[in-house]
């Protein structure tokens, strides 16, 4: 997979609002290569772009879930439990 293919995938996700650092991109790429090695994938050149984009999406999803959880936890500590100010005040 070329650097331009990697850049295209990352730029596409960033244009949709995903926050991906270069360090995260490099880490996900390493994880993908390691997964393919462990799974014995032979056609790595064709499989890597699919796996890389999927793993980046998973990373963004996990980061978003963690961020929301931290926000809810800090919100709960400051006042009674309310989910994103949707519940009426008592």
Q: What is the mean pLDDT of residues 27-45?
A: 96
At 73, the pLDDT band (50, 70, 90 cuts) reads confident
pLDDT bucket at 72, cuts 50 / 70 / 90 = confident
Does residue 30 surpass a pLDDT of 80?
Answer: yes
Domain ranges of the chain: 3-78
What value, to the nearest 5°, has the Cα angle with vertex 15 and ends 18 and 57? Answer: 40
Of the pLDDT bands very low, low, confident and very high (cuts 50, 70, 90), residue 82 is low
Those residues whose C-beta lies under 8 Å from the C-beta of residue 88, and which sit 6 or more positions away, are none
For the entire predicted model, the pTM comes to 0.77
68 vs 64: CA distance, rounded Å: 6
- Listed as own residue / partner, the contacts of 4-12 with beta carbons closer than 8 Å and 24 or more positions apart are 5/49, 6/52, 9/49, 9/52, 9/53, 9/56, 10/56
């Amino acid at each position: 997979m070329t650097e331009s293919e990697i850049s295209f995938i990352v730029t596409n996700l960033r244009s949709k609002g995903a926050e991906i650092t270069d360090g995260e991109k490099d880490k996900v790429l390493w994880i993908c290569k390691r997964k393919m090695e462990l799974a014995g994938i032979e056609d790595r050149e064709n499989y890597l772009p699919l796996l890389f984009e999927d793993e980046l999406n998973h990373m963004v999803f996990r980061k978003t879930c963690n961020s929301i959880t931290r926000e809810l936890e800090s919100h709960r500590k400051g006042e009674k439990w309310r989910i994103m100010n949707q519940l009426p005040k008592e």
